[in-house]
Amino acid sequence: MSEHGTCAVCGSEIPGPFSGGHCNSCHQGFNSNYADGLHRRGEYGNPKNPRRCLTPDEMRERGMSLNTRGLWVSKALRPESLTEIQGANSSGVQDDL
Ligand SMILES: [Zn+2]
Ligand SMILES: [Zn+2]
């Protein structure tokens, strides 16, 4: 047993604690803790603004997208930043594939 593995409920891969996470509520995977945080709305114990997860459609509306591993990323989808990211990580991307 380890913290890394698959979700017992949905069977998805769970990224490590410092490389994102897997939501126990909506069972989406996230490429970073920041992206994980972005998909949560509201506050615990606040009936006017209850804690909940964004749906995939709502996440896309906020500029989030799925990466090649099927994990949500928080990047703004500006063409120039995508080019930068792909150029900077080209070797890493190939390793992932
Ligand atoms: Zn969630
Ligand atoms: Zn799950």
Q: What is the pTM of this model?
A: 0.67
* φ, ψ dihedrals at 82, nearest 5°: -65, -40
By C-alpha distance, which of 53, 52, 5 is closest to 28? 53
Q: Report which bound ligand comes closest to the CA of 22.
A: 2
Q: What is the pLDDT of residues 16-44, one digit of tens each?
A: 666 678 999 999 999 888 899 999 999 98
Q: Are strands 65-66 and 72-73 parallel, antiparallel or unpaired?
A: antiparallel
Q: Report which bound ligand comes closest to the CA of 26.
A: 1
Give pLDDT, residue 21: 86
Q: Report which bound ligand comes closest to the CA of 7.
A: 2
What is the distance between the alpha carbons of residues 46 and 43, in angstroms, rounded to a whole number?
6
Domain residue extents for the chain = 5-91
Ligand 2 center to 45 CA (angstroms): 24
Ligand 1 center to 65 CA (angstroms): 15
